[in-house]
Amino acid sequence: MSGGAARGRPATRGGGTGSRSPSTSPSSRKGKSPMAQFMDMLSKANLKDEDSKTIKIPPFSDGTEWDSVVFELECGLEKYWKHDDLDIVEYLQGITQTCDPELIKKADKIIYNALVNASKRDSFARKQIMASRHADAVPQVERNQGLKLFNLFQTIFTGKSKNTANLPSAQNNFYQIKMLAKEAAKDYIARVDTAVSDLALLNEKVSNNSWRYILANGLRSDFKVSKMVCSSVKMDTILLLKLKTKS
């Protein structure tokens, strides 16, 4: 009889009828019902799925395609976003919402990837994305800051100034732009970028050589090194020029 009792002890523990069973139950340990745990698991799986999603929007290089880009981006986000706690289209439009910070991160990542992937290689838009990641950029837009990048393009492509009423005035503003007496290099570069964007909105393309020349020509005399950099044959991209000028 004692042997049979000894053999019975392991079975009692393994069968889940012993005193340890309540403490090892997932629902008891987490304080949630099995259905609540399942919904949590499903929510986390959906968040992971968002990481691999890429919203396809029309390729763009400057402000001439921006209205179409915004429309397709909103449609794509509304179609693929599955989280009711955050209205991603309203988030894109700047409407403040209260939700899990993880949802904000996921939304930002999707928006950022969509814009980066749609920007044409060597275009004004792609150069702006690259330049905005520099520590001295105004404004600075770090990787996966989707809403901030979207707002940057909104400002550049839709924020027309009084100097862009017509093509001649926009051209005059671009070719005569000069660095102000107490202006920082990064602020001067931002003004040149705006002037280039104003011309793009009027379907007037600016070549890299012209862009380089204006940047160099408008610098103050105390930026001698930067002026020399502008004439270097190795300095063949606007991005490198900006980084050298800001340093």
Tokens of 247: 């340093």
Enter the tokens of residue 198: 């104003």
10: preceding bond cis by omega (within 30 degrees) = no
- Furthest C-alpha separation in the chain: 107
Amino acid identity for residue 111 in this structure = I
- pTM to 2 decimal places: 0.55
Mean pLDDT lowest among 36-50, 115-129, 222-236: 36-50
pLDDT confidence band for 191 (50 / 70 / 90): confident
Instruction: Please tell me the distance from the alpha carbon of residue 237 to that of residue 121, in angstroms, as a whole number.
Output: 12
CB atoms under 10 Å from CB of 178, counted, come to 13
Report helix, strand or coil for 119.
Answer: strand
Domain ranges of the chain: 55-158, 162-246
Closest CA to 186 of 243, 224, 125, 126: 243
The 10s digit of each residue's pLDDT in 204-233 is 878 877 887 888 888 888 877 666 666 554
